[in-house]
Amino acid sequence: MISRRAALAGLVLSALALGAAAVNVGPARPAPTAASGVPPGAPAAPIAPAAPGRPAPALPATEPLLPAGGPSTLPAPAAAASAPLSPPGQRIYERSRQRLLQVRTLLKTQDSQSSVGSGFLVDPSGLLVTNYHVVSQFAMQPQRHRLVYATVDGQQGALQLLAFDVVHDLALLRPVDPAPLAGRGAVPLRPADEPLQRGARVYALGNPLDVGFAVSEGSYNGPVERSFLTTLFFGGSISSGMSGGPALDDDGRLVGVNVATRRDGEQVSFLVPAEPVRALIERGRAAAPVTAPAWAEVTRQLTAHQEALTRAFLAQPWRNAGHPRYVIPVPQERFMRCWGRSSPQALRSLQFEHSACSMDSRVFVTGALQTGHLSVRHEAYDGSRIGALRFADRYAGSFANEPMGGKEAQRTAPRCVERTIERDGLPLRAVACLRAYTRLEGLHDLSVLVATLDGERVGAQGRLDAWGVTAENARRLTAHYLDGYAWTTPPAASR
């Protein structure tokens, strides 16, 4: 029986098998881990440029929306406004306060909390919505955790997890005893056929930093641009602990769910739109409570997500990097952002131009695992100022030093294939690596590294990374990426 590791290597090998002679496969290269600059428990979020003309942060710049753990000193938090409210803000808060809740994840055998967030009632029967990341510890380890709520007026009770949408970071819960929440009504959802106008006032509610329920006023700024998933840009403050709280319009109707904020900007926050909330309620209202680790359901949802993402990515033609010698694949900026930089021309050293394109968001699975992400980058090198020997040493070193990761709790060690191939007569060195997820059956991280081999003092190196794809989609992405390389001019004219 063929081992899974050998089978994975064979799948990638088939994508590289283009008629060129194979070379020996070297030791497994370390594959890139998903960038995790988000503290444990924080959600992935869209990343906008820090400033025009400057590269975006290499890591997600989101403010964690789960405050630090520890026993709660406020079992019945008092209402607290984050800033002086306008009369409409006061009216919205008074109308909605009975439908607001704090959602806490506690250790099974004690009252110490491991995460805290906000939620809101969406049905008179007591159904409530929060973020998936608020309850993710319970979803993955229900044998070690339990869920409880607290209302503005001090009512408390146990919760059950009915369903979740890991891709949109939503969860649907219900109280074990619905009596304390009876008669409070529900937050109505704004109809999809009534789009909110840019600049309209929006009121984000929740329990920031576990200090008390509050409302934060801001403006609606439409969907985030260049995002694969629809996410709303809220021009207001969302603090840690407000995750899962409602963002309402002037009529108290749900516009979106608080999900993330930027750490490097002011009043740049993000909401999950109301439509996925509506779909989750319909799907989950009659579901049985989650009582076992939810890895299988998370895997099912992530598999569907990566299929849609891969299909959309493959449907887009590559842009040309504009290099005078090579055609280098650069993705469209429909749901990615690209940033570039170059070496100072005055230096008598190796010259380069660098481009990095990446999606702004990742799918939060656990505090230690985020996935559902694509990135593409390249560097074009000019060694005319340093000579052929020095160029060869620097060029080979850059290729060899690319990190490919190692074995860890969430992923296996990478299995890599390395070959010399041709594209349109252009000789390339290509390495493709797969790392399997240990708990997400059938999903992998893919890394493809490419270097041109034709020039003594000139060359280009590129890399594609895909987090959380099936082996078949890894093969398709590999072939698509390699097909993006060619000569800018015919080989005879380029030498």
Residue 78, token pair as written in the block: 């008092």
Distance between first and last Cα of the chain: 48
Taking the whole predicted model, whether its pTM rises above 0.85 is answered as: no
CATH code (residue 114): 2.40.10.120
| Residue 198: per-residue pLDDT | 96
Same domain, 152 and 271: yes
Residue 95, H or E segment: helix 87-96
Same domain, 336 and 281: no
For residues 14 and 429, give the distance between their C-alpha atoms in angstroms, rounded to a whole number: 15
Q: Are 181 and 155 in contact (CB under 8 A)?
A: yes
Place of tokens 């060619």: 486
3-state secondary structure of 474: helix
Place of tokens 């439908």: 99
Same domain, 30 and 133: no
In the chain, the number of structural domains is 2
Q: Are 212 and 77 in contact (CB under 8 A)?
A: yes
Q: Are 20 and 422 in contact (CB under 8 A)?
A: yes
For residues 32 and 464, give the distance between their C-alpha atoms in angstroms, rounded to a whole number: 11
For residues 490 and 462, give the distance between their C-alpha atoms in angstroms, rounded to a whole number: 21
| Residue 346: per-residue pLDDT | 64
| Residue 266: per-residue pLDDT | 82
Q: Which of 245, 264, 290 is the last residue of a domain?
A: 290
* Closest to 13 measured CA to CA, from 453, 415, 427: 415
Kindly list the distances between the CA atom of residue 373 and the CA atoms of 27, 127, 170, 320, 332, in Å, as whole numbers in the listed order: 26, 32, 19, 22, 15
Same domain, 369 and 439: yes
Q: Which of 239, 255, 290 is the last residue of a domain?
A: 290
Domain annotation covers residue 69: no
Domain annotation covers residue 65: no
Q: Which of 260, 290, 320 is the last residue of a domain?
A: 290
| Residue 173 domain boundaries | 87-290
Region of residue 19 (phi > 0: left; psi between -120 and 50: alpha; otherwise: beta): left
* Closest to 152 measured CA to CA, from 104, 101, 203: 101
Domain annotation covers residue 73: no
For residues 290 and 276, give the distance between their C-alpha atoms in angstroms, rounded to a whole number: 20
236 phi and psi angles, rounded to 5 deg: -160, 180
Q: Give the gyration radius of the chain's Cα atoms.
A: 25
Same domain, 152 and 219: yes
- The DSSP symbol for 377 reads E
Q: Kindly give the parts of the chain with pLDDT less than 50.
A: 1-82, 493-495
Same domain, 185 and 215: yes
Domain annotation covers residue 66: no
Same domain, 339 and 482: yes
| Residues contacting 478, CB < 8 A, separation 6+ | 12, 15, 16, 432, 446, 448, 464
Domain annotation covers residue 74: no
| Residue 310: per-residue pLDDT | 98
| Residue 70: per-residue pLDDT | 35
Domain annotation covers residue 158: yes
For residues 57 and 433, give the distance between their C-alpha atoms in angstroms, rounded to a whole number: 25
Same domain, 317 and 437: yes
| Residue 345: per-residue pLDDT | 73
Domain annotation covers residue 70: no
Kindly list the distances between the CA atom of residue 160 and the CA atoms of 34, 294, 307, 347, in Å, as whole numbers in the listed order: 31, 14, 30, 63
Same domain, 35 and 114: no
Same domain, 386 and 438: yes
Kindly list the distances between the CA atom of residue 17 and the CA atoms of 88, 152, 478, in Å, as whole numbers in the listed order: 65, 63, 11
Same domain, 133 and 93: yes
Kindly list the distances between the CA atom of residue 401 and the CA atoms of 23, 138, 444, in Å, as whole numbers in the listed order: 19, 39, 22
Same domain, 273 and 393: no
Domain annotation covers residue 71: no
* Closest to 151 measured CA to CA, from 204, 213, 85: 213
For residues 324 and 380, give the distance between their C-alpha atoms in angstroms, rounded to a whole number: 10
